């Protein structure tokens, strides 16, 4: 049975990003929260978390599919395989599925997952601090080809976040303009204010995505110190992510949308090899 304890973020060493129909999937590899450093060579020290940042409540079949994939991925880890061959060696790596959901979505689990609101995950990310460690668990060895794959994932994620936030703002401007025209034509009649809920919801989700994107980039940079071309590409992704974060910070109740308009950057130039 699932523990009633509060969820704790693991010490993450590597993050892979994937986009599904209703969510962004973050595969987080690392060590269990609070695990002693001197015992990180043990199989049970390792963990794999799949964090799904959901745009809407996923269907039960989709949540179950993520749960199955998580189990398959965990069982494919070298440490898990070694534990199965030597049952007396102790427990295997831990794996958990977390769903971060918008307001109104059910928090009742359907596949043994942990469900939480976006706000709860945001608070956990804020209080956790740096998610990274300098050493990789035995199950992970980031090679150059894998680094290139991660860079492509992060570049695509940054581009998508820029486009989604820009589209939400454009829709908000149109709705605001329509309301202003209606107010002028009605002269003195009370009219409803522009619906800011949609923009606020999109901004909240984008802010969470940016937090995870920055963590992913920091981790990749940490493990790419000896690869200048990879490091340069990661730094460009970090710069774009920071620009997104700055735009979201400017977008407060007292800030106008025009002041926080995000101008997408041109695609980063390919780093020299």
Q: State the Cα angle at 187 between 186 and 190, rounded to 5°.
A: 70
Instruction: Examine the pLDDT at 172 and tell me if it is beyond 50.
Output: yes
On the CB side of 133, CA atoms within 13 Å amount to: 20
Residue-level pLDDT at 258: 37
- Is the same domain home to 230 and 159? yes
Residue 88 DSSP one-character state: G
Q: How many domains does the chain have?
A: 2
- Is the same domain home to 131 and 156? no
- Name the strand (E) or helix (H) holding 11: strand 11-19
Give the domain-ending residue among 102, 125, 141.
Answer: 141
Q: Give the dihedral sign, CA 75/77/22/55.
A: positive
The stretch 171-186 carries a mean pLDDT of: 71
The stretch 8-29 carries a mean pLDDT of: 82
Bridge partners, 97 (sequence order): 50
Instruction: Examine the pLDDT at 226 and tell me if it is beyond 90.
Output: no
What are the backbone angles phi and psi of residue 13, rounded to the nearest 5°? -115, -20
On the CB side of 235, CA atoms within 13 Å amount to: 11
> 19 versus 92: which is more confidently predicted?
19
Asked if the structure places residue 4 within a domain, the reply is no
The stretch 119-137 carries a mean pLDDT of: 64
Instruction: Examine the pLDDT at 28 and tell me if it is beyond 70.
Output: yes
Which residues, 6+ apart, have CB-to-CB distance to 214 below 8 Å?
238, 241, 242, 245
- Asked if residue 90 lies in contact with residue 45, where contact means CB atoms within 8 angstroms, the answer is no
Asked if the structure places residue 256 within a domain, the reply is no
The stretch 268-273 carries a mean pLDDT of: 40
Residue-level pLDDT at 1: 36
Give the domain-ending residue among 141, 158, 173.
Answer: 141
Instruction: Examine the pLDDT at 52 and tell me if it is beyond 50.
Output: yes
Confidence of residue 123 (pLDDT cuts 50, 70, 90): confident
Residue-level pLDDT at 12: 79
Q: Is 225 left (phi over 0), alpha (psi -120 to 50) or beta?
A: alpha
Nearest CA to 94 among 116, 124, 64, 114? 114
State pLDDT tens for residues 63-91: 999 999 999 988 887 655 544 444 444 56
Specify the pTM. 0.59
Give the domain-ending residue among 92, 118, 141.
Answer: 141
Q: Which domain holds residue 107?
A: 11-141
Residue-level pLDDT at 107: 94
Distances (CA, A) of 39 to 34, 128, 137, 211, 224: 11, 21, 11, 29, 25
Asked if the structure places residue 213 within a domain, the reply is yes
Residue-level pLDDT at 140: 47
* Residue bearing tokens 């992913």: 216
Burial bucket for residue 251 (CB in 10 Å: 0-12, 13-18, 19+): buried
Confidence of residue 257 (pLDDT cuts 50, 70, 90): very low
- Is the same domain home to 152 and 48? no
């Amino acid at each position: 049975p699932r523990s009633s304890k509060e969820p704790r973020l693991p010490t993450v060493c590597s993050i892979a990003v994937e986009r599904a129909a209703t969510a962004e999937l973050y595969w987080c590899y690392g060590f269990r929260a609070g695990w002693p450093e001197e015992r990180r060579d043990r199989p049970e020290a390792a963990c794999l978390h799949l964090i799904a940042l959901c745009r809407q409540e996923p269907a039960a079949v989709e949540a179950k599919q993520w749960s199955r994939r998580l189990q398959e991925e965990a069982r494919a880890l070298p440490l898990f395989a070694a534990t199965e061959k030597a049952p007396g060696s102790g427990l295997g790596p831990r794996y958990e599925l977390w769903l971060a959901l918008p307001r109104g979505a059910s928090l009742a689990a359907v596949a043994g997952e942990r469900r939480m609101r976006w706000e709860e995950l945001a608070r956990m990310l804020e209080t956790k601090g740096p998610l990274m460690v300098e050493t990789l668990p035995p199950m992970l060895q980031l090679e150059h080809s894998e680094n290139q794959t991660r860079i492509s994932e992060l570049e695509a994620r940054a581009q998508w976040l820029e486009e989604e936030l820009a589209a939400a703002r454009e829709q908000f401007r149109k709705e605001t303009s329509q309301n202003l025209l209606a107010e002028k034509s009605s002269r003195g009649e009370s009219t409803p204010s522009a619906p800011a809920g949609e923009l606020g919801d999109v901004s909240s989700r984008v802010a969470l995505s940016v937090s995870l994107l920055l963590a992913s980039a920091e981790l990749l940079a940490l493990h790419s110190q000896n690869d200048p071309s990879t490091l340069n590409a990661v730094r460009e992704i970090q710069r774009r992510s920071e620009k997104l974060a700055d735009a979201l910070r400017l977008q407060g109740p007292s800030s106008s949308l025009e002041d926080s308009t995000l101008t997408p950057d041109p695609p980063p130039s390919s780093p020299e090899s």
